Amino acid sequence: MNALTQPDSPQAALAANGEQLQRARDLLQRTLEFVRQQARPWSGSGLSKASDDPYVISRFGDLQIRIEVAAALHERARQRLQQDQDPAEVAVALAEAAIAVGEALLATGNAEFELTGQRSPQPQALHDPLRWKYQLVGNYRLNGALPQGFRSAV
Protein backbone atom coordinates (compact mmCIF):
# COMPACT_ATOMS: atom_id res chain seq x y z
CA MET A 1 0.00 0.00 0.00
CA ASN A 2 1.12 3.54 -0.59
CA ALA A 3 -0.07 7.12 -0.26
CA LEU A 4 -2.51 6.57 -3.11
CA THR A 5 -4.22 3.58 -1.52
CA GLN A 6 -4.62 4.57 2.12
CA PRO A 7 -5.17 7.67 4.22
CA ASP A 8 -2.03 9.37 5.52
CA SER A 9 -2.65 8.51 9.15
CA PRO A 10 -5.04 6.65 11.42
CA GLN A 11 -6.51 10.02 12.37
CA ALA A 12 -7.19 10.79 8.68
CA ALA A 13 -8.80 7.36 8.24
CA LEU A 14 -11.00 7.99 11.27
CA ALA A 15 -12.01 11.40 9.94
CA ALA A 16 -12.82 9.96 6.51
CA ASN A 17 -14.97 7.25 8.12
CA GLY A 18 -16.77 9.90 10.16
CA GLU A 19 -17.53 11.95 7.06
CA GLN A 20 -18.91 8.92 5.23
CA LEU A 21 -20.98 7.95 8.26
CA GLN A 22 -22.52 11.42 8.34
CA ARG A 23 -23.22 11.18 4.60
CA ALA A 24 -25.08 7.91 5.19
CA ARG A 25 -27.12 9.46 8.00
CA ASP A 26 -27.99 12.51 5.90
CA LEU A 27 -28.94 10.37 2.92
CA LEU A 28 -31.15 8.20 5.08
CA GLN A 29 -32.88 11.27 6.47
CA ARG A 30 -33.51 12.73 2.99
CA THR A 31 -34.88 9.39 1.80
CA LEU A 32 -37.15 9.13 4.85
CA GLU A 33 -38.51 12.61 4.20
CA PHE A 34 -39.14 11.84 0.53
CA VAL A 35 -41.00 8.61 1.32
CA ARG A 36 -43.08 10.30 4.02
CA GLN A 37 -43.99 13.36 1.94
CA GLN A 38 -43.87 12.45 -1.77
CA ALA A 39 -43.65 8.73 -2.48
CA ARG A 40 -46.69 6.88 -3.70
CA PRO A 41 -47.38 3.30 -2.70
CA TRP A 42 -46.99 0.49 -5.19
CA SER A 43 -50.26 0.30 -7.11
CA GLY A 44 -50.92 -3.34 -6.21
CA SER A 45 -50.34 -2.90 -2.50
CA GLY A 46 -53.77 -1.51 -1.63
CA LEU A 47 -52.09 0.98 0.69
CA SER A 48 -52.80 4.69 0.80
CA LYS A 49 -49.23 5.71 1.75
CA ALA A 50 -45.83 4.39 0.73
CA SER A 51 -44.73 4.73 4.36
CA ASP A 52 -47.25 2.02 5.32
CA ASP A 53 -45.68 -0.56 2.97
CA PRO A 54 -44.15 -3.33 5.11
CA TYR A 55 -41.29 -3.76 2.62
CA VAL A 56 -40.45 -0.06 2.76
CA ILE A 57 -40.66 -0.15 6.55
CA SER A 58 -38.30 -3.15 6.64
CA ARG A 59 -35.89 -1.41 4.30
CA PHE A 60 -35.63 1.57 6.64
CA GLY A 61 -35.16 -0.74 9.63
CA ASP A 62 -32.30 -2.49 7.84
CA LEU A 63 -30.66 0.81 6.92
CA GLN A 64 -30.96 2.18 10.45
CA ILE A 65 -29.33 -0.94 11.88
CA ARG A 66 -26.49 -0.80 9.34
CA ILE A 67 -25.79 2.83 10.20
CA GLU A 68 -25.89 2.18 13.95
CA VAL A 69 -23.51 -0.79 13.62
CA ALA A 70 -21.17 1.37 11.54
CA ALA A 71 -21.37 4.12 14.16
CA ALA A 72 -20.53 1.66 16.93
CA LEU A 73 -17.52 0.31 15.04
CA HIS A 74 -16.42 3.85 14.25
CA GLU A 75 -16.63 4.76 17.93
CA ARG A 76 -14.68 1.64 18.90
CA ALA A 77 -11.93 2.55 16.43
CA ARG A 78 -11.86 6.11 17.79
CA GLN A 79 -11.50 4.83 21.35
CA ARG A 80 -8.69 2.43 20.41
CA LEU A 81 -6.86 5.21 18.65
CA GLN A 82 -7.27 7.62 21.57
CA GLN A 83 -6.15 4.99 24.08
CA ASP A 84 -2.93 4.37 22.12
CA GLN A 85 -3.66 0.67 21.81
CA ASP A 86 -1.59 -1.76 19.76
CA PRO A 87 -1.18 -0.21 16.29
CA ALA A 88 -2.26 -3.45 14.61
CA GLU A 89 -5.48 -3.50 16.64
CA VAL A 90 -6.07 0.15 15.74
CA ALA A 91 -5.50 -0.59 12.04
CA VAL A 92 -7.91 -3.53 12.13
CA ALA A 93 -10.53 -1.55 14.06
CA LEU A 94 -10.25 1.26 11.50
CA ALA A 95 -10.64 -1.25 8.66
CA GLU A 96 -13.68 -2.83 10.31
CA ALA A 97 -15.25 0.59 10.77
CA ALA A 98 -14.48 1.57 7.18
CA ILE A 99 -16.13 -1.61 5.89
CA ALA A 100 -19.27 -1.07 7.96
CA VAL A 101 -19.48 2.62 7.07
CA GLY A 102 -18.88 1.95 3.38
CA GLU A 103 -21.47 -0.81 3.26
CA ALA A 104 -24.01 1.36 5.12
CA LEU A 105 -23.44 4.24 2.72
CA LEU A 106 -23.75 1.94 -0.29
CA ALA A 107 -26.96 0.37 1.03
CA THR A 108 -28.41 3.80 1.81
CA GLY A 109 -27.55 5.05 -1.67
CA ASN A 110 -29.17 2.01 -3.24
CA ALA A 111 -32.28 2.48 -1.11
CA GLU A 112 -32.45 6.12 -2.11
CA PHE A 113 -32.53 5.11 -5.78
CA GLU A 114 -34.98 2.28 -5.16
CA LEU A 115 -37.41 4.38 -3.10
CA THR A 116 -37.09 7.83 -4.67
CA GLY A 117 -35.87 7.21 -8.21
CA GLN A 118 -32.97 9.57 -7.54
CA ARG A 119 -29.33 8.95 -6.79
CA SER A 120 -27.21 11.44 -4.89
CA PRO A 121 -23.63 11.68 -6.10
CA GLN A 122 -21.24 9.91 -3.79
CA PRO A 123 -17.53 10.62 -3.64
CA GLN A 124 -15.35 7.95 -5.17
CA ALA A 125 -13.75 5.58 -2.70
CA LEU A 126 -11.33 4.00 -5.14
CA HIS A 127 -8.39 5.46 -3.21
CA ASP A 128 -9.16 3.11 -0.32
CA PRO A 129 -11.07 0.07 -1.64
CA LEU A 130 -13.06 -2.00 0.83
CA ARG A 131 -12.06 -5.30 -0.77
CA TRP A 132 -8.58 -4.88 0.71
CA LYS A 133 -9.99 -4.11 4.13
CA TYR A 134 -11.92 -7.39 4.22
CA GLN A 135 -8.68 -9.23 3.48
CA LEU A 136 -6.78 -7.25 6.13
CA VAL A 137 -9.38 -8.00 8.82
CA GLY A 138 -9.78 -11.65 7.85
CA ASN A 139 -6.06 -12.35 7.67
CA TYR A 140 -5.48 -10.68 11.03
CA ARG A 141 -8.36 -12.47 12.78
CA LEU A 142 -7.76 -15.87 11.12
CA ASN A 143 -3.98 -16.01 10.87
CA GLY A 144 -2.77 -13.31 13.24
CA ALA A 145 -1.05 -11.63 10.29
CA LEU A 146 -0.17 -8.03 11.02
CA PRO A 147 -1.63 -5.56 8.51
CA GLN A 148 0.95 -4.80 5.83
CA GLY A 149 2.16 -1.26 5.58
CA PHE A 150 0.10 0.05 8.48
CA ARG A 151 1.51 3.09 10.19
CA SER A 152 2.00 3.38 13.88
CA ALA A 153 -0.99 4.93 15.62
CA VAL A 154 1.20 6.23 18.42
pLDDT, one tens digit per residue, over 104-152 is 999 999 999 999 999 888 766 556 678 889 999 999 999 999 987 654 4
Give yes or no for residue 5 having a pLDDT over 60.
no
Full DSSP string of the chain: --TTTS-SSHHHHHHHHHHHHHHHHHHHHHHHHHHHHT----GGG--S-GGG-HHHHHHHHHHHHHHHHHHHHHHHHHHHHHTT--HHHHHHHHHHHHHHHHHHHHHHHHHHHHHHS--------TTS-HHHHHHHHHHHHHH-PPPTTPPP--
Question: Is the whole model's pTM more than 0.95, yes or no?
Answer: no
Give yes or no for residue 36 having a pLDDT over 80.
yes
pLDDT of residue 74: 98
Domains of the chain: 10-41+49-142 (1.20.140.10)
For residues 18-38, average pLDDT: 96
pLDDT of residue 151: 46
The per-residue pLDDT for range 56-90, each reduced to its tens digit, is 999 999 999 999 999 999 999 999 999 988 999 99
pLDDT of residue 129: 79
With cut-offs at 50, 70 and 90, classify the pLDDT of residue 7: low
With cut-offs at 50, 70 and 90, classify the pLDDT of residue 153: very low
Give yes or no for residue 1 having a pLDDT over 50.
no
